[in-house]
Amino acid sequence: MSGLNLVEAMKMAMRSIKTSKVRSFLTMLGIIIGVASVIILVSIGQGSSQSVKDQIGSLGTNLLTVSVTDTDAVELTDQTVASFKELSGIEDVAPVITGRVSAKNGENSTQVSMTGTNSAYLSVRDLELSQGRFLADMDVELRQKVVVLGSDTAETLFQNQNPIDQAIQIGGTSYRVIGVLKSVGTSMGTSGDDVIITPISTAKRTTGSTTISTVYLKAKSEDAVERAMYQVQGTMTTTFPNQSDNYSVSNQEDLMETMSSVSDTMTLMLGGIASISLLVGGIGIMNIMLVSVSERTKEIGIRKAIGANRTSILLQFLIESVVLSCLGGLIGIGLGLGIAKLIAIFSSLTIHFSFTITLLSFLFSLCIGVIFGVFPANKASKLRPIEALRHE
């Protein structure tokens, strides 16, 4: 087909769209919603994935974790913890006992997570103090009733007061506040600021739990993580033979890969669900274009009678369908990016825009215009002039 005929077909297609503005907009609506949905949902999915990676990364890349799932079969003792310290690849070890307690200061009270640990916990978990000091080895040995508060807990219990050297009540017993941690935010859905840290020897009595379910270990360097992990696994295998199903040894890289895999699957599912609305939009375009063919049968007959060939008619309707899809896609991109930006501003969700996904959703809408526009365009091009002219 000549360039002149192509230009003429495009002009006629645009004229037809302008003539029926409301119908054209309603035709595009399915594509607009579809493209916007894909961009919004995938941006949220990828943002969540990135947020998880950042949170895991912030814990330190040389952190190892021993987690026990069955504390009856695998009982971590002080001797086991001491054997971890002797490993050449390990710099620091922090055993942890956890429990929920009720903390009170005058009229202010809160239910909070208590973490019993040792002096190495600050370094191993890469935490910082905003006030006071952290636990010392002497506090653990003497079972001192001292606590370090997370930033949220300190704010709840003391509000605008300085908590250092003040007392709080836990289970009717008085504990002295020796430090306050800097805020670490929420990680993996759990607040790291809503916590009370106390010597592990004290926590055993306070929480009524003597079971060490988690041990955090700090490798001497990022390069030594793999070697340190093998050493820790070797110690666990020697100490607890045939119990590998009841505990796990993991590093941050393993956790990051697992969480990324879950997040990517969720993103794919969200994108797939949103893509369904694009297909619905394509069906909407086909339906409207078929109606358009019926309404303009006489016009098609006149064009054919004065010499328009089948290709010219087919191209006109196909271009009309593609233009509607393109416009719908572009509006959908603008709407999707705008709404995603508003979500990022007014909510705590992390949004990550992907140029690739934006481009793919636009190209998908373009393909839908071609695919679903072929059938109505083909129907129009096959109309016989005499029958078309007779049509009322």
Contact status, residue 120 vs residue 82, Cβ threshold 8 Å? no
| C-alpha count within 13 angstroms, C-beta hemisphere, residue 74 | 25
Q: Are 168 and 147 contacting, i.e. CB atoms less than 8 angstroms apart?
A: yes
Burial class of residue 359 in the structure, from the number of CB atoms within 10 Å of its CB (0-12 exposed, 13-18 middle, 19+ buried): exposed
Question: How far apart (Å, rounded) are the C-alpha atoms in residues 54 and 218?
Answer: 19
Residue 136: per-residue pLDDT? 92
- What residues does 187 pair with on adjacent strands? 190
| Phi/psi at 243 (5° precision) | -120, 20
Give me the pLDDT at residue 73, please: 80
CA distance 145 to 298: 93
Say how far residue 121 (Cα) sits from the centre of its chain.
Answer: 28
- Pairing, β 129-132 against β 90-105: unpaired
What is residue 199's predicted lDDT score, i.e. its pLDDT? 93
pLDDT of residue 149: 92
Tokens of 277: 């609305």
Per-residue pLDDT, 1: 45
Cβ-contact 27, 324 below 8 angstroms: yes
The residue whose two tokens read 């690849």 is 89
Give pLDDT < 50 ranges for the chain: 1-4, 188-189
Amino acid at position 71, single letter = T
pLDDT number for residue 284: 78
Q: What is the pLDDT of residue 391?
A: 53
pLDDT at residue number 2: 46
What Å distances lie between residue 186 and 56, 157, 190, 208, 238, CA to CA?
A: 11, 19, 5, 27, 36
